[in-house]
Every structure is written in structure tokens, then in C-alpha cells.
Amino acid sequence: MAQVVPAEAGLQRVIGDGAAPESTVDGLDDPDLLELYRDLVLLRTYDERSVVYQRQGRIGTYAPFWGHEAMQVGAAFALEREDWIFPSYRESAVGLLRGMSPATVLQWWRGHPSGWWNPGDYNVASICVPIATHVPHAAGLAWGKKLRGERTCALVFFGDGATSEGAFHEGANFAAVMRAPLVLFCNNNQWAISTPVEEQTAAAKLVDKAVGYGMPGTRVDGGDVLAVYQATSQAVARARAGEGPTLIEAVTYRMAPHGTADDPSAYIDTERVEEERRNECVVRYERYLRRHGLLTDQLADEIRAQALEVMRASIGVVEAEPPPDLSLIFDHAYAAPPASQAADLAELRRVVGEL
Amino acid sequence: MAELSIVEAINDCLHAELERDPSVLVMGEDVGRAGGVFRATAGLRNRFGPDRCVDTPLSEAGIMGTAVGLAMAGWRPVCEMQYDAFSYPALDQLINHVGRYRWRTRGAMEFPITVRMPYGGGVRAPELHDDSPETYYVHTPGVKVAIPSTPADAKGLLAAAIRDADPVVVLEPKLHYRTERGEVPEGEHVVPLGRARIAREGSDVTLVAYGSMVPLAERAAAELEAEASAEVLDLRSLKPLDEDALLRSAAKTGRVVVVQEAPRVCGFAAEVAAILAEKAILDLHGPVLRVTGYDTPYPYWQLEAAYMPSVARVRDAVRRLLEF
């Protein structure tokens, strides 16, 4: 089998290839194991349908996360509902794991204001587009909760490229100095658009950066949902015990374009992509469940059909929603809008009418 | 009433606001043990503890970025940027997040973040301790900007900023931190954002100024007394802007000179001139003139007196306008 990453040393795994005995994960019973599968299928279906909707012109530019589902599902499953998740655009649909409707996220990618949710409803922060700039937000929230004496912790998702940004450094350092209950979750898919991780850093492993911040780091197979869950659970336990932040480097390989406007054939090793796709995270977990007698064809079909139905209903909902009112250009920029905004809106309505 | 300097009034305000609201915290470089490099936060750490007057890592973007998360956790952070030009690393956070997050949540979450910093030149300092960066902040949607010129306003505008539901940048005229003294109300004192102040009444020309340019405009007006009756309008807050006060004064005098320390191009004086062109053109007897810094890096301090707007330059502009 191909190596997932060049440097395999220290890469934690739970799911095996079926040949050797597999370890189990504490704290997960059979219903949990199936819930993880439902979550994986929900995100996979969301992602695949979104690419189709983009091709059909029903949503705008979209950043696929095909192959990243195990990282998002495994990490989110290790959190409690009160804990906060700070997503980048690669985790745009992570709110689905907290009960958010896919319609909301689809609207985000359609450029409709109803795509912006209230973070407080799900404890999922707004999708962060500029790279790594949400790392300090997560550090601040975790620190702020700790100052209030609450047991809430935060988890922030970012990619390998984000570790080159100043905001990653400042957020990680702040969290460490304040001993903030934070999990820094790096999804190292080895590509920042077209730049390979070897050109992103001279560090042997991204997780090595943890040493410089005085925090522990864990390197885990990002295609192994159980290993991700386990590593995140350990980091969350440390955070709740007042021991501060942990850096998790989850290693995978980007098997989809950076975005729907990207053509990776210009830079990526397509044979490697094909090879990785044969062992991608949802298939690997399906095999695991079947080996343990937890998944039948019928159940898998049911779960997939349910997810597809949710997506069909959601795209219907968003396409039935009227276009946003022009007032939404101005609303909510300030708690008390300046007088000029009413005049600007009135002028806009007079000149352009309505959408 | 106590007679205080500007920096003492700021310190007084912070004590009053931390006392009043347990969700207010002060954070920044050297604000705790040292009490701030200008002593604006002196005494807070002893009184309110290290969790409410936080010495942070040397990390301006980290301060502004964690303030976003602190606000999400229910805090009202008051961030100190040690100097004007040191705030630029935090612009990324300010533009991309601080000013946008409320809008992003469609008003569901508030980001009552205050950012205060000493600004401006004339203090014989090394490079990048002299900038007037207000335009960057005013231009950022979702962010308000206040600039006091008196001790009473330094206290009152900062209190208004801390209590505001939106992020507010408060630029403090470091040139006058200790030289301007005045009566400051004791206890809680709030000067609402968006209300300009007539610092001196006049009838022939209006000198529009804010921050450290207000005392300068007042001196120029005094020196011009024999030639013209100059009104000095202290804007106090650039956003929201008291347009009514500006238009009233322009209508009264018919002549406007705007004084700003920052470089000229796209500075706030240009905005004032544009508003007057759009809304007061028939009230004006001549063009709106600007007295500003130049479009260069702020100079070596041996040249700063010539670079900064001066009484002589303001007087020259007023004379040109009167002769127009």
C-alpha cells in the first residue's frame, strides 16, 4: 500500500487494512460508530451534490472537501455541543454536524445573505475566508471562556498553508501563553492550491511547530475517522483539565481541486490522486464497519438515500427563497446605522428599483 | 471636577469603566505591570487583577484577533496599540473581521471592541512613532473612529467607545497627552460619538480640526483675531461624523479650512471637502482649503516641525481664502 505521507513516523491510526487486528477506541459504542458513518455520508453527499450544483449554475464557486470528511467528522464528534468550532472555507458545511440545515450553507455559496448564520445558534463561527485569521479568534474565545470559569473549549480548523501565516503563529502563541482550552486542528492535505507542503515549510513535520509554542502535538492519519476522533478527544481532555492547547496535524492528500475554478491537472500528480481515492476516508470506514459486522448493504443504501433526500430538499428550499432585499446591503453593518445609510438605500431604490 | 491631563483622564476613564462593567477588560503590550508606556493604564492591574488588565504577548494582530474571540465569549475588550504605526499588523484583523463580524452574523452577535492608541507627531521620536493613521480606520466599514482633543473628551469619548455596541478606534493625541490640562467630570462621564464641538466661535472662516490639530487651530484663530473672526470646529468623532455641525458652521462663515496632520491624499480633510462640495456649495465664498501633512513618509524629527501643519500654514490658508 502506498504511503499516505512521505514521513510515516508517528502517524496515529486506528483503522487497519483488514490484515492485522485493529485497535478499538475508548468511549465509542456501536451506535456512536454508526453515527460517525452517518455524519461522513452526510458531508460526502453535501460535497458531491455541491460540485454538481456548481456545474449546473445553481450555486457559485465552491471549495470541495472531498476526502476531508474524516477529519471534520472525527474532530467534531470529540467535542461537546457547547464547544466552539471555527471553520475555514474547507469546513464550510461542518455546521451540518451541529444540526444546521444544508440550505444555509448552500445559500452561503450562492452569495445570499441567509447563508450567514448566527454562530451562537450552533457554536460554529462564521466561515473564515482569509487564511489562518480565525486562529486568534478561536484562541480568544477559548481564553475568554476560561476567564469566565466556563468549561467550554474551542477547535479551529486550518490547512497546511495556514501554518505559514502570521495569524497562525500569533493565535497559537496567544493560546499557549494564556493556556487557553483550544485544539489547533491542521488538515495537512499537502497542497495550498498549487504549492506543495515541501515548499510551504522547511520543517520535517508541521506538528514539530508545537514544540516552539510549548504545547504538545499529535500527528494522525487524517483519513482515519477513528484516529482523528481519538486524537481530538485527548486534546479536548487536556484543554478541559486546564493544560492548554494542543496542535493536531491530520495528514491526508488533496484528492479534489482546491475550488471549482481550479484545474489541478497543471500541478498535481494525477496517479497519486487516483491511488489515494481508492483508499479514501469514507470507503475505509465502510470497510471497517463491515469487518466488525456493523454495516450492511441495506443500511448503507438507506443512509446514503437519506442524505441525498436532505440535499434534494435543501436545494429546493434555497431555490424557492426570494432574492435578498436591497436593505441587506446596509443592514447590520452597525448596531445603530449612520443617517447616511437610509439616504443611500432610498437613492438605490429610486435608481435601480428592486432585484 | 478635577483638573487632569489627557493621559490622566484616560486612566480615570478606564478605572471608572472597569469598575462599572465587569465584562470590560484592558489588554495590550506592557499595559499591566508597567501601566502602559505612557502610563494610561497605570494602577489597573493592581486594582482589577491580571485577568482584567492583561499583559499580552508582543503581537498586535494577536491582540486584535483574540479580542474578536473574547467578544464572542461575552467580553468587552479595550485593546491598546502601543503606538500608531505599530497598529498596522492588526489592520488585517480590523478590516477582515472586527469591522465585518457583526454584519456576517446579520446582527446576531456584537463586537464591542475598543482599540485605543497614541497617535501623531511632534514628539521627537524615532521612525514610526509619529503617524496619523485615522484614514485607514475611517475607511473600514463597521468601525467607528473618535479622536479627542481635550482631557474631558478623552475621558468621555473613550467611555462612549467602551459602551458602544460596535468596534471603535480611539486615537489619542500623544503630543498633548501631558501638555493639555483641563477640567474633567469625576466618576462616569460619557461624550456621545457623532457630536462635534465648537471650540471657538467665529464668523468669517471655519477651521475644521480634530485631535492634536484642535489646539493648533485655536492658536491660529487667536493670532488671526485682528484679520478675521475664525471659528474652530472640533469634530471629536470622524465616524459617525456630525455633518449637521459641519454644514451649520460652513453656512455661517462661508469659508472652510480643514487641518489634518496625516498625509493629504484621501485624508479625512478630503472627505470634509467632498461633503461641503455636495451639500454646501452655495454657502461657500471660496474653495475648501486643506492644511495637511505631506504625501511622504513622516520625516526625521529634525524636520518634523516644518512637515506638520503649523500656525503659519493655517494663517496662510485663511488669508488666501479671505482674498479669494
- Residue A8's pLDDT is 56
pLDDT at A338: 86
pLDDT above 70 as % of chain A: 97
Confidence of residue A1 (pLDDT cuts 50, 70, 90): very low
Contact flag B66-A171 (C-beta cutoff 8 Å)? yes
Subunit contact A334:B104, Cβ cutoff 8 A: no
Q: What is the ipTM of this complex?
A: 0.96
Q: What was the pLDDT predicted at A83? A: 98
- For residue B97, give how far its alpha carbon lies from the nearest alpha carbon of chain A (Å): 8
Closest CA to B169 of B108, B107, B263, B87: B87
Residue A171 has its nearest CB partner, among B62, B96, B239, at B62
Secondary structure (DSSP) of A15-83: ---SSSPPP--TT--HHHHHHHHHHHHHHHHHHHHHHHHHHTTSS-S----TT-HHHHHHHHHTS-TTS
- Is A4's pLDDT higher than 50? no
Question: Do B133 and B64 lie in a common domain?
Answer: yes
Does pLDDT of A54 surpass 70? yes
Q: How many CB pairs under 8 A join A and B?
A: 135
The answer to whether residue B192 neighbours chain A at the CB level (below 8 Å) is: no
Task: Count Cα neighbours of A241 within 13 Å in the Cβ-side half-sphere.
Answer: 8
Please judge whether A133 and B108 are an interchain contact, meaning their C-beta atoms are less than 8 angstroms apart.
Answer: no
Q: Which of residues 164-193 of A touch B (CB under 8 A)?
A: 166-167, 170-171, 173-174, 177
C-beta atoms of B142 and A338 within 8 A: no
The answer to whether A111 and A60 have CB atoms below 8 angstroms apart is yes
* B91 within a domain of the structure (yes/no): yes
Q: For position A355, what pLDDT does the model report?
A: 67
Q: Annotated active-site positions of A, please?
A: 254, 258, 267
Mean pLDDT to the nearest integer, A160-174: 98
pLDDT at position B43, please? 98
Mean pLDDT, rounded, for B19-39: 98
Q: Within 13 Å, how many C-alpha atoms sit on residue B167's CB side? A: 34
- Please, which pLDDT band fits residue B204 given cuts at 50, 70 and 90? very high
CA–CA separation, A75 and A286 (whole Å):
18
| B307: amino acid identity, one letter | Y
Contact A144 B65 (CB under 8 A): no
**The predicted structure's pLDDT at residue A2:** 35
B8/B119 same-domain check = yes
The alpha carbon of residue A204 is apart from the nearest alpha carbon of chain B, in Å, by 26
The reported pTM is 0.96
Contact A159, A188 (CB under 8 A): yes
A9's CB contacts (< 8 A; 6+ apart) are none
Helices marked H in A89-218 — which ranges?
102-109, 119-122, 135-147, 166-177, 209-213
CATH assignment at residue B12? 3.40.50.970
Query: Looking at domain A30-324, does it have CATH number 3.40.50.1820?
Result: no
Read off the pLDDT of residues B113-154 as tens digits, 9 standing for 90 and up. 999 999 999 999 999 999 999 999 999 999 999 999 999 999
Among chain A residues, the shortest Cα distance to B74 is held by A144
* Residues B143, B70 within the same domain: yes
Residues B132 and B221 in one domain: no
Other C-beta atoms within 10 Å of B33: how many?
A: 10
Clarify whether residues B99 and B153 are in a common domain. Answer: yes
Instruction: Average the pLDDT over A118-128 and give the result.
Output: 98
Question: How many angstroms away from the CA of A174 is the closest CA of chain B?
Answer: 7
Q: Tell me what the mean pLDDT of segment A32-60 comes to.
A: 98
Q: Which residues in chain A are closer than 8 Å to B97, comparing Cβ atoms? A: 133-134, 137
CA A173 to chain B, closest CA, distance in angstroms equals: 8
Residues of chain B in contact with residue A113, where contact means CB-CB under 8 angstroms, are 106
Same domain as B251, residue B111: no
Confidence band of A107 (pLDDT split at 50, 70, 90): very high
Structure confidence at residue A62 (pLDDT): 97
- Are residues B56 and B177 located together in one domain of the fold? yes
B176 touches chain A (CB under 8 A): no
Q: Clarify whether residues B94 and B162 are in a common domain.
A: yes
Residue A267 has pLDDT above 60, yes or no: yes
**Domain end marker among B141, B159, B184:** B184
A108 at interface of B, judged by CB pairs closer than 8 A:
no
Q: Which helix (H) or strand (E) holds B14?
A: helix B6-20
Is the same domain home to B282 and B165?
A: no
Reduced to 3 states, what is the DSSP secondary structure of residue B100?
coil
Q: A166, B108: Cβ pair inside 8 Å? A: no
pLDDT of residue A5: 44
What does the pLDDT average to over A90-106? 98
Tell me the average pLDDT of chain A. 94
pLDDT at A20 over 80: no
pLDDT digits (tens, 9 = 90+) for B247-304: 999 999 999 999 999 999 999 999 999 999 999 999 999 999 999 999 999 999 999 9
- The answer to whether the CB atoms of A147 and B57 lie below 8 A apart is no
Domain C-terminal end among B156, B184, B212: B184
List strand residue ranges (DSSP E) for B29-124, in order: 53-55, 76-80, 114-119
What does the DSSP 8-state code read for residue B97?
Answer: I
State residue A7's pLDDT score. Answer: 44
Residues B226, B105, single domain; the answer is no
Q: What is the mean pLDDT of residues B19-27?
A: 98
pLDDT digits (tens, 9 = 90+) for B206-248: 999 999 999 999 999 999 999 999 999 999 999 999 999 999 9
A348 touches chain B (CB under 8 A): no
Which distant-in-sequence residues (6+ apart) come within 8 Å of A329 by Cβ? A345, A348
Q: Which amino acid is at B319?
A: R
A120 chain-B contacts, CB cut-off 8 A = 105, 108-109
What 3-state DSSP class applies to A214?
A: coil
Domain count across chain B: 2
Domain boundary pick from B184, B207, B224: B184
Distance CA A176, CA B57 (A): 11
In a domain, B192, yes or no: no
Give the distance from residue A70's alpha carbon to the nearest chain B alpha carbon, in angstroms.
27
Same domain, B12 and B50: yes
A85 touching chain B per CB within 8 A:
no
Shortest CA gap A217–chain B (Å): 21
> Which range among A60-74, A254-268, B42-56, B70-84 shows the weakest confidence by mean pLDDT?
A254-268
Interface of B with A in 64-103 (CB under 8 A): 64-75, 89, 92-93, 96-97, 101-103
Q: Is A153 on the interface with B (CB under 8 A)?
A: no
For residue B306, the enclosing domain spans 197-323
Residue A144 contacts B, CB cutoff 8 Å: yes
Q: Name the residues of B annotated as catalytic.
A: 129
DSSP B110-168: ----EEEEEE-S-S---TTSS---HHHHHTSTT-EEE---SHHHHHHHHHHHHH-SS-E
Q: Residue A6, preceding bond cis, omega within 30 degrees?
A: no
Give the nearest partner residue to B62 out of A120, A136, A145, using CB atoms.
A136
CA angle A329–A330–A331, rounded 5-degree value:
105
CB-based contact A170 B103, cutoff 8 Å: no
| Model pLDDT for residues B77-120, shown as the tens digit of each residue | 999 999 999 999 999 999 999 999 999 999 999 999 999 999 99
Query: Quick one: B177 and B211 in the same domain?
Result: no
For the CA atoms of A51, A258, A249, B69, the dihedral, rounded to the nearest 10 degrees, stands at -80
- The minimal CB distance from B109 to the residues A84, A120, A144 is found for A120
Q: B55 in contact with A at a CB cutoff of 8 Å?
A: no
The CATH number of whichever domain residue B221 belongs to comes to 3.40.50.920
What does the pLDDT average to over A309-316? 98
Please tell me the predicted confidence (pLDDT) of residue A9: 60
Asked if B101's CB is within 8 angstroms of A335's CB, the reply is no
